Amino acid sequence: MGSRGNPLLGVALAAVLGFAGCAPHSSHRIVVFWQFSPLAAIQPVLDRFRSEHPDIDVKVEQLTWQSGREKIVAAIAAGRPPDLAELGSTFLPGLVADSTLVDLTDSIPELVGTLRGWPVAVYRGRAYALPWMLGTRAMFVNTDLLARAGLSPERPPETWAEFAQAAARIDGLGQGVKGFGMNSGEREVLFKKFMPFAWGNGGSILDSSMTRSVVASPQNIEALRWYLTLKPHSLLDRQEMLDEAFTRGRVGFAISGPWMLRKLPESAPTLHFTVTLMPRPAANRGLPASFAGAEALGIFRGSKEKAAALTLARFLVREENAMPLYVATGNAFPAAYAAEQDTYFVSHPLDKVFVRQLLTAVAPPVHPRWVEIEEILNAELEEAIYGKKSAEEALRSADKKIQALLGAPS
Amino acid sequence: MSQRVGGWAVPIAGLLPWSLCFAVFGLVPLFTAFLLSFFDMNPLRPDLTHWVGVSNYTRALGSPAFWHALRTTAIFVVGTLPVTLTLAYVVAALLSRVRRGQGFLRAAIFFPSIPAMVVTAIVFKSLYAEQGLLNGWLAALGFGAVHWLQDPRLALPSIMAMDVWGSVGYYAILILASRKTLPLEQLEAARLEGMGTLEIERRIVMPHVKPVLLFVILLNTIRSFQIFTEVFILTRGGPLESTLTLVYHLYERAFYHFEMGYACAIAYLLLFLVGLILLVQKRVLGRAPAGAM
């Protein structure tokens, strides 16, 4: 009997151990966070969050750019969305329109003045996400080709006229070298490549009330006419192939993102290049505009840990937590204004060009039917690039279709 | 009695894991998709799902995009199937005649079908690039660059060529395996009777491998109608929708426009169409004399 021990003691011990085991869990909240950065890059940031908020555990998962969107959609459909997710600016309008995200407006008034990039997260004056990382594109310039074409590598083109002339002269070098890398064959990115020129020229896609298409405005038509004049001097291919061609010194100019700054020194150590702002219509007219993309942090309505998710989101958007992610991945910049003053940009002046470019970058409108608007615009731009329609025909056709869409019930 | 139960238990236990997986990952989605095809369903707002009857089907049949995608898919099927089948048959015939190094050649020919289509497509994306290897070779021969994936007239044929390259080896090995079961005595008797190589192929070999050829045709037809990965990786339906196939169209409707019910209706129209074609193929080819295939 004695060797078997006291059964009552056993029950009591089990109860104590049971409570002991439960106690920490009952006060612990678990936030499921889906994001796109490699875990090696995000984990140190989350470790700091854990030390600052020991009561919140973060279950982080890395999404892939190829299937992340589908995974989020499937999770929402299954009624088991993550608590917090990194959402791209082109995906966000659909989620907002379908009331999938929590309205954060009243919970984050103090963040409004600390972050840039709100246009991608705000719909009808309400904020449905926190801008976290901002991406934009700038002009990569092969300075060797510029010099070979008899142009000053110290002063890359700043205006449309200078740019078109430089592209033509580089194209004239022959030997398989082309002046400009023009996107084609991937319809989904065409508006991102063309609209910067239209935005810089004062153009737009929708009017300020977002109820009327202004795609066929004279500013847009002028921009597209000019853009198409670059075609004879351009290499037409998909973005990654254009990046590759620039890496191999085969194109003079390529519109690309900051990831190239990490790639080029490794894969083309002998390539001489610089990065400049996008060309503006004229020295005394327009802006060097670019496309503004954003990775925003959204909390799903189906989340069971909304408060904890917001705590995590607030932590992530802080400059000191977002900046290490940029340093590690080199893809997009912190939305926090304070990041501009980071010493990293002193030692990395080309990265700083992207920060300057962000100041004149424009985000596509947050509209519930954005996916369809984007599809129409891309299809018509493709027709223009392939010479099936003139600039005017393509934009007028896009205008008509978008207007019909805006008039149709969603 | 217990012995009989014991006798059944083993095969049932063996079949159970696969059957369960098939039921969960095959049958349940199949029936769910069929049901969904009669609903208007946005996965982001499942609470708003509502019955729309057959309107998803009528919408698809009245949609120019659906017919365009179907036409593109049909061109792909008609363009790849005969080429793949002919090449696979010829390769198998040549391989069967090789006496030395057949093992190596078999492995080499089968190799393209081993990597996942995603991997093959990524490799071909580099080959087909404007400044890629293929254009490099053409330039070395004095030809200008070809816009393999950028030219709307060439994009689909380029994908078809890749698909043929990736699948010929697999089908060739199947046909070769069938040829190997042909008794040598039969071939020798045919030769003694004075039959030439082509006549032997037509009158002896083809009838023998006919069931495998039929299998290859059916399998390749199904695969070709399902073409998606190649388009997703290489062209995303472009340029100018020249490679917009039915499954890619379905994917866009489901995951970009969140029209899950409509996408399911397209999937079932495709299923019906493929089923019909397979039925016709089986009837026609099953009856036809092998030499006529």
Q: Convert the pLDDT of each residue in B237-293 to its tens digit.
A: 989 999 999 999 999 999 888 899 999 999 999 999 999 998 988 888 776 655 445
Provide the token pair at A210. Answer: 């977002």
Cα separation, A138 vs B258, in Å, equals 32
Altogether, the residues listed in chain B come to a count of 293
User: Minimal CA–CA distance to A108: which of A85, A131, A92?
Assistant: A131
Residue B114 falls inside a structural domain: yes
pLDDT tens, residue by residue, B195-217: 888 899 888 999 999 999 999 99
Residue of chain B whose alpha carbon sits nearest to that of A372: B257
H-state helical runs in A108-204: 143-148, 160-171, 190-200
Residue of A70, A176, A382 with shortest CB distance to B240: A382
* CB contacts, 8 Å: A244 with chain B: 129, 131
Residue B89 falls inside a structural domain: yes
Residue B27 falls inside a structural domain: no
**B44 vs A69: CB contact, 8 Å cut-off?**
no
- To the nearest whole Å, the CA of A10 is away from the closest chain B CA by 41
| Amino acid A10: pLDDT | 46
User: Minimal CA–CA distance to B124: which of B80, B89, B81, B166?
Assistant: B166
Residue B230, pLDDT above cutoff 70: yes
Residue B17 falls inside a structural domain: no
pLDDT tens, residue by residue, B126-140: 899 877 899 989 989
Size of interface A-B (CB pairs under 8 A): 77
ipTM of the complex: 0.77
Residue of chain A whose alpha carbon sits nearest to that of B49: A77
| Amino acid A279: pLDDT | 97
| Amino acid A187: pLDDT | 77
Residue B271 falls inside a structural domain: yes
Residue B150 falls inside a structural domain: yes
Task: Determine contact: B68 vs chain A, CB below 8 A.
Answer: no
Residue of chain B whose alpha carbon sits nearest to that of A387: B240
Residues 74-103 of B with CB under 8 A from A: none
Residue of B44, B139, B150 with shortest CB distance to A236: B150
B78, B224 contact by CB (below 8 A) = no
Residue of A70, A185, A250 with shortest CB distance to B150: A185
**B44 vs A95: CB contact, 8 Å cut-off?**
yes
| Amino acid A185: pLDDT | 77
Residues 241-280 of B with CB under 8 A from A: 241, 255-258, 260
- To the nearest whole Å, the CA of A107 is away from the closest chain B CA by 24
Region B18-23: what's the mean pLDDT? 93
**Domains (ranges, CATH) in chain A?**
18-136+292-362 (3.40.190.10), 139-277+367-407 (3.40.190.10)
* This model's pTM is above 0.80: yes
pLDDT tens, residue by residue, B97-125: 888 888 899 999 999 988 888 999 999 99
Best probe of the A interface among B40, B119, B127, B130, by most A CBs < 10 A, is B130
Residue of A69, A76, A382 with shortest CB distance to B238: A382
Residue of A176, A250, A383 with shortest CB distance to B240: A383
Residue B33 falls inside a structural domain: no
pLDDT less than 50: residues of chain A: 1-25
Overall domain count for chain B:
1
- The CATH number given to whatever domain includes residue B263 is 1.10.3720.10
Percent of chain B scoring above 70 in pLDDT: 95
User: Minimal CA–CA distance to A122: which of A323, A314, A364, A331?
Assistant: A364
B56, B38 contact by CB (below 8 A) = yes
Residue B143 falls inside a structural domain: yes
| Amino acid A189: pLDDT | 86
| Amino acid B123: pLDDT | 93
| Amino acid A226: pLDDT | 97
- Give the domain range for residue B166: 58-292
pLDDT tens, residue by residue, B166-191: 999 999 999 999 999 999 888 889 88
Cα separation, A69 vs A91, in Å, equals 8
Provide the token pair at B179. Answer: 């040829």
- Residue A229: count other Cβ atoms within 10 Å of its Cβ: 15
Residues 160-219 of B with CB under 8 A from A: none
Strands, E, within A330-386: which ranges?
333-334, 361-362
